[in-house]
């Protein structure tokens, strides 16, 4: 019998990637068995590492920011988007030392974002633009709020050691917002779900050659991810124990992410909606000028596996 392929999937230690953690635990404990592959989660520190690894084919697939995945596809990396990884799930945290009481108070401050091509950047841009403020990098002219790209796991420390309150805050995937709030260095300013209800953020992509070579394996993974997502939404308490271990985080912080409020992050609705992805790419091209052209979403999104998995 041929040896089962090991499918390498990249991820970050953020709750957006919870479905991978639950699936990995189910396989580890024998609650689920894959017939056509073994799963090899590969942790990365930042989004540039994930993007680079997909480009050089050291990963077979990844949980990755939707705009970054679209940009990789546009640049010639042969990927397919198979599922959403979650909906909502991010938070804008204000620095306690920065005296932020309104959106306008971010003017003159630096705000940390996880990546240029991220839903976080888009949502923060939308929030500021509605108040007549312009965010941008320090080198750009006429900006009101300076954006600085920082890996998610480094954001809590950046806020902790910002004694002068020059950093207004950050917008990022959980659990880093709740971690900073629990440590007493920041306060919740806004949840991403309130800026765009049930917004997509991270997606599950696979390299096309891997899909074509091992379609049964990819179906197993997608079906398991969908079931894992439903289980997280339905049973946040046991899920928080798994998450604490998988993300190397405090269980109470993970529980807060899953339950306060209950729809802070949603993992039970993973079917990719092209309309939502189109909203992202058009906003980033027309309003933010960080995408130069649109991609053909019919060529990028492959819903065959989501259909069989019963994703909703």
Residues facing residue 110 across a β-bridge: 146, 167
Q: What domains sit in the chain, N to C, each tagged with a CATH number?
A: 6-88+199-309 (3.40.190.10), 90-195 (3.40.190.10)
Residues facing residue 191 across a β-bridge: 91
Is the preceding peptide bond at 293 cis, omega within 30 degrees of 0?
no
Distance between CA atoms of residues 253 and 249, nearest Å: 7
Q: CB within 8 A of 182, min separation 6: which ones?
A: 250, 252, 253, 256
- Report phi then psi at 63, rounded to 5: -95, 120
Res 210 pLDDT > 90: yes
Q: State residue 70's pLDDT score.
A: 98
Res 2 pLDDT > 70: no
Q: Give percent of the chain above pLDDT 70.
A: 99
Q: State residue 144's pLDDT score.
A: 98
What angle is formed at CA 113 by the lines to CA 108 and CA 119, rounded to 5 degrees?
120
Residue position matching structure tokens 């339950």: 259
Q: State residue 157's pLDDT score.
A: 97
Mean local confidence (pLDDT), 27-50? 97
Chain mean position to CA 119:
8
**Average pLDDT score over the chain:** 97
Tens of pLDDT, residue by residue over 88-115, are 999 999 999 999 999 999 999 999 999 9
Tens of pLDDT, residue by residue over 145-183, are 999 999 999 999 999 999 999 999 999 999 999 999 999
Put simply, whether the predicted model's pTM sits higher than 0.95 gets the answer yes
Mean local confidence (pLDDT), 212-230? 98
Distance between CA atoms of residues 159 and 163, nearest Å: 8
Res 58 pLDDT > 60: yes
Banded pLDDT at 3 (limits 50, 70, 90): confident
Res 250 pLDDT > 90: yes
Res 41 pLDDT > 70: yes
Task: Classify residue 278 by burial, with Cβ atoms within 10 Å: 0-12, 13-18, 19+.
Answer: middle
């Amino acid at each position: 019998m041929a040896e089962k392929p090991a499918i390498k999937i990249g991820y970050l230690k953020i709750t957006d990637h919870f479905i991978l953690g639950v699936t990995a635990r189910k396989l580890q404990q024998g609650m689920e068995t894959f017939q056509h592959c073994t799963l090899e989660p590969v942790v990365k520190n930042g989004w540039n590492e994930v993007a680079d690894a997909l480009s050089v084919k050291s990963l077979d697939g990844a949980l990755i920011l939707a705009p970054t995945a679209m940009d990789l596809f546009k640049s010639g990396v042969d990927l397919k988007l198979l599922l959403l990884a979650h909906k909502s799930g991010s938070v804008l945290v204000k620095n306690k030392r920065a005296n932020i009481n309104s959106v306008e108070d971010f003017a003159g401050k630096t705000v940390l974002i996880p990546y240029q091509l991220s839903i976080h950047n888009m949502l923060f841009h939308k929030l500021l633009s509605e108040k007549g403020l312009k965010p941008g990098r320090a080198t750009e002219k006429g900006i009101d709020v300076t954006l600085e790209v920082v890996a998610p796991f480094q954001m809590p420390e950046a806020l902790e050691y910002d004694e002068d309150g020059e950093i207004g805050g950050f917008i990022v995937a959980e659990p880093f917002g709740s971690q900073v709030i629990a440590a007493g260095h920041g306060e919740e300013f806004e949840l991403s779900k309130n800026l765009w209800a049930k917004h997509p953020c991270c997606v599950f992509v696979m390299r096309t050659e891997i899909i074509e070579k091992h379609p049964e394996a990819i179906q197993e993974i997608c079906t398991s991810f969908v079931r894992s997502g439903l289980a997280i939404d339905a049973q946040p308490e046991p899920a928080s124990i798994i998450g604490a271990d998988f993300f190397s985080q405090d269980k109470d912080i993970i529980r807060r992410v899953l339950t306060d409020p209950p729809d802070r992050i949603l993992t039970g609705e993973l079917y990719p909606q092209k309309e939502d992805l189109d909203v992202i790419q058009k906003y980033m091209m027309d309003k933010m000028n960080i995408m130069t052209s649109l991609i053909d979403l019919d060529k990028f999104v492959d819903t065959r596996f989501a259909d069989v998995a019963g994703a909703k």
